[in-house]
Amino acid sequence: MQLEQGLFKLDFSDYHAVLGIPVSADAKVVRKRYLTIARKLHPDSLSTASTADKQRASELLSKWVNPAYEVLSQDKPSTEHQLVLKLKGQTLGRATKPPEVDSEPAKQLIKAPHVDAAYRQAVNALASEQYDKLDSVLQIIGQLSELNMMYLYRTASSAAASQRSGVTPKAQASPTSPTATPAAPPPKSGTAPPPPRRSQSTILDSYINRAQEHEQSQDYGQAVLEMREAIKTYPQSARCHSYLASLYLKTGQVTMARVHAKRALEITPDNELAKTIQTRLDRAGGASGKSGTTAKGSDKSSGGFFGLFGGKKKS
């Protein structure tokens, strides 16, 4: 199935737009929505449809809906996809102005006072008719993709503004958060003063040291998990991103290695490890990268998937 005029060819597949669900949807929502779509596209539901419509429904299900469900319903692929969304949101949040969009729902979301409620309402409205008319499915997916892009921009911009104003986000203020630093009570008379808190660099070193121990034992999965936890606490650490990129490269997850190497270089352009990884990826995968094929063999733009975000529609 060819991409229709007015759709996007971007860096990542927008699986949430394909299923018509918010980017924060959990596994139960993913499965329920998939079953609803699968029933609509099943041959039994299209008994009176034309042969062309039956073929179109079959292609939508096999090339778009099933792959999206396969990623979002499995823990590891879903977690990796969420990480990609998070990094993309951070990139959008650093922009000086909103991304350019063409669909009316996304334009409305730019100025909505309550972004979460407005976003969910807009997604639900589009999803309610997404697969009713097969000839308009791709257009609606494109509108949902723009909504997702604008939502990530709004939430990332809000978080960045809070940091600049000195307001600590709720997640960081949580008592269980690794970055929470509640004030210690004054020492009682005659007792020794409490030991000094560990510095951020010491905490970061402990993450990396544990990851290196797992790496030496060739337990790369645990090493990756350790560094992903580190990035939750230190999202602006080029050291974290470059080391995680090297771990992903060792496990053959080229797409994730490229994402984190790129992020490390955005933070610190002269990061040697990230530059080395980027060079290796460019040399080894340049041909496949140009053709749009990811490490898992799925096509980014021409094989039936939307990219996640990007520029304006082509006329």
Domain boundaries, the chain: 15-164, 200-291
Nearest 5°: the CA angle 161, 166, 169 is 70
Q: pLDDT band at 165, cuts 50/70/90?
A: low
CATH of domain 200-291: 1.25.40.10
Q: Taking residues 128-154, report their average pLDDT.
A: 92
Q: Is the pLDDT of residue 162 over 70?
A: no
Q: 243, 273 in Cβ contact below 8 A?
A: yes
Please report, for residues 21, 85, 140, 149, 175, the alpha-carbon distance to residue 156 in angstroms, rounded to integers and kept in the order given: 19, 11, 24, 11, 23
286, pLDDT greater than 50: yes
Quote the pLDDT of residue 11.
39
The winner for highest mean pLDDT among 158-162, 177-181, 217-221 is 217-221
One-letter amino acid of 140: I
CA 175 from chain centre, in angstroms, equals: 26
Helix (H) or strand (E) holding 103: none
Q: What are phi and psi of 282, to 5 degrees?
A: -65, -40
Average pLDDT score over residue span 130-156: 92
CA 57 to chain centre: 27
- Give me the residue label for tokens 């978080």: 159
Quick one: average pLDDT of 195-214?
A: 70
Collapsed DSSP state (helix, strand, coil) of residue 293: strand
Hey, which residues does 13 pair with through a beta bridge? 307
In sequence order, the β-bridge partners of residue 307 are 13
Task: Output the pLDDT for position 180.
Answer: 43
221: confidence class by pLDDT, cuts 50, 70, 90: confident
Query: What is the average per-residue pLDDT within 188-205?
Result: 57
Lowest mean pLDDT among 83-97, 105-119, 237-251: 83-97
- Give the pLDDT of residue 166: 57
Where is pLDDT greater, at 157 or 241? 241
pLDDT of residue 4: 38
pLDDT at residue 226, rounded to an integer? 81
- Which tokens in the block code for residue 261? 């190497």
pLDDT at 83 over 90: no
Nearest residue to 184 (alpha-carbon basis) of 171, 173, 197, 167:
197
Lowest mean pLDDT among 69-73, 108-112, 164-168, 270-274: 164-168
Does residue 205 come out as left (phi exceeding 0), alpha (psi in the -120 to 50 range) or beta?
alpha
Region 199-209: mean pLDDT is 72
- Per-residue confidence (pLDDT) for residue 33, from 0 to 100: 97
Q: What is the mean pLDDT of residues 197-226?
A: 76
Q: How many Cβ atoms sit within 10 Å of the Cβ of residue 47?
A: 8
As a whole number, the mean pLDDT across the chain is 77
